[in-house]
Amino acid sequence: MTLIELMVTLVVAAVLLGFGVPSFKAFVQKNRMASQVNTFLADLHLARSEAVKRRQSIRVCKSTDLAQCSTEGTFNNGWIVVDEAGAVLRSHGPTSEQILIEDSYEGLITFTGAGIIKASAGNIVFSADGYIRKLVISNTGRVRIQSD
């Protein structure tokens, strides 16, 4: 292989990397957000199904210590799924610093024993680097993902 061939190969590799790295970064960010949204969605489904199964209210609430519900912070600090007695059914620690979670429930989502939501319908919005996904909760307690 000659020096010119080697230099052409390096230039082609550099150009391909120049196009590929930003795309890969966006791919990774989208997958992180999808993972976080799906984890939260799974916990909402768990809370609703446990509420119906136990015939009691189950809450998903923000938590800073992962042991009890908190009035401080956001879901970014972590959240727990708890029953009426305060027993933690599932907990999740802080989210990625790049993903922001905003909700219309002030950090407390309660499903009644009938599986419906105690508050009115609302959204939980996940955003990062221009990507937005919403978890929409209807009055009946049905949760769905909405991409913008």
Amino acid 7: pLDDT = 79
Domain count, the chain: 1
DSSP 8-state symbol, 83: -
Residues written for the chain:
148
Q: Could you tell me the CATH number of the domain that includes residue 72?
A: 3.55.40.10
Amino acid 21: pLDDT = 63
Q: pLDDT of 41-70, one tens digit each?
A: 999 999 999 999 999 999 999 998 999 998
Rounded CA separation 146/58 (Å): 24
Instruction: Split the chain (148 residues) into runs of 10 and give each run's mean pLDDT.
Output: 80 74 76 90 95 95 90 89 94 86 87 90 87 90 85
- Strands of 100-103's sheet, edge to edge? 100-103, 122-128, 131-137, 143-147
Amino acid 52: pLDDT = 95
Count of other CB atoms within 10 angstroms of residue 46: 16
Amino acid 28: pLDDT = 82
By residue range, what is the domain housing residue 105?
3-146
